[in-house]
Structure 1
Amino acid sequence: MSKLLINDNPLMVIPSLAVRIGMNEAVVLQQIHYWLQLSSHEKEGKKWVYNSYKEWQAQFPFWSESTIKRVINSLEKQGYLQSANFNQSKMDKTKWYTINYEILGETENQIDPSTDQNEPLSESTCSIDEGELTKAIPEITTETSSDKIIPYADIIDYLNQKINASYKSTTKKTKEYIEARWKEGFRINDFKKVIDQKSDEWLFDPHWCKYLRPETLFGPKFESYLNQKGGKQKWREEDFDLHD
């Protein structure tokens, strides 16, 4: 692996890499590197992560989608980032990404050894277009390598953003529902799909909108919601077996 990237979650950037390829590019490359270490998606002998530009924007909320697209294109043109489409459906245009560590190694050899490469640039000193870095960036799409890591905050933050709510990810009951589904083998993409499907169906319905809550969405009917096919599925209140 390259000394130009770090194997940790806090958002930091190696100054010499930022000077060489650009600050924004270094931030995105570091984030992709971090999730590649946790990825279980191996294709053509390499690990990959995948996201749409919209999903990347949820990870980098201080940037617009157009900025993220521009940064990723820059990394591809410079050869540091490789992209492909391994989706089952050819209609799905979500791009998969991996890092070209060979090219990165060549860059590492070209960097002036007098530059202090081992001291990462902390978020307090970064200067980045369209916003400031204030915390580590959570993952939305790629699964983690350990079932022990349950992204409660990521799931609830996505729900709150989707329905304009303010549920807390630290609530005991909410965590119990998420943990129960997680132990059943569901992952963050499944939670996201259920949130998307049910918010599209219920958000503007004066009766059903009250069920856009963690205990309903992540409760016993979770798998039914996940596998709902087309159209709007009709439910009776007694189907939920929940108390308001």
Structure 2
Amino acid sequence: MGLLIQEPPLQVLPSLAKAIGLNEAIVLQQIHYWLQKSSNIEVGHKWIYNTYNAWQKQFPFWSIPTIRRTITSLEKQGVIVTGNFNKAGFDNTKWYRIDYQKLESMSRRCDQNDQTMRSIWTDGADQNDQTNTNRLPETTTETTIKTSSDKPDDHLSENFEAIWKEYPNKAGKKEAFRHYKKWRKESKEHTDEYLMAKLKAYKQDLAVNAWKKPMNGSTWFNGRFNDEYTVPDMNQPPIRAKGYQF
């Protein structure tokens, strides 16, 4: 019984899968659902936004490369349009909308019943009750599909902001974030907890050695966090040189 339907199943119309591909039809139906709920209006259209890691929460049976290929295929077919309306310049999270006119033109070339196909491609209001994907967990913030409860590795920009908040020199943030992303994506050994521990040691080193000035953020995040910081044990008595009286 464990593999029979006891949770919300994904649905897809065979006619849509025939027209654009099975994986593409599944992703497109999900985007369509969230667009009905979105209140993000840019350049006269509704948009949603999400990262590939967050998309994988909704499609856990696919790898991130598969999701990326599927979305790229939808872009090449012209059925979805992508953009970037993020407030932070370093945030590359993609925004998505559906080109419903393109889908309408494709529907005329399909051999399936035209009325059935138009019901999903042109009348979004009816689909909210019919699709079962509306019970999948939301995974983005604001009014679309992100929430602040995402797991730590889902959104690198959010993790970086938490670390940057503690960094003592606010110069070079854009480059610092670029170095941070490269390091997090290439390093399987190190974690954000490791970086925070190194930052704590660095700040202690600065406090003890007042003559030091905190490095530009782009410098420290470009590998200088791996420097060794020796912080004196303040509970130990100072070392006295032989032959001198203090």
TM-score where L is the length of structure 1: 0.50
Which has the larger Rg?
Answer: 2
> What TM-score does the superposition give when structure 2 sets the normalisation length?
0.49
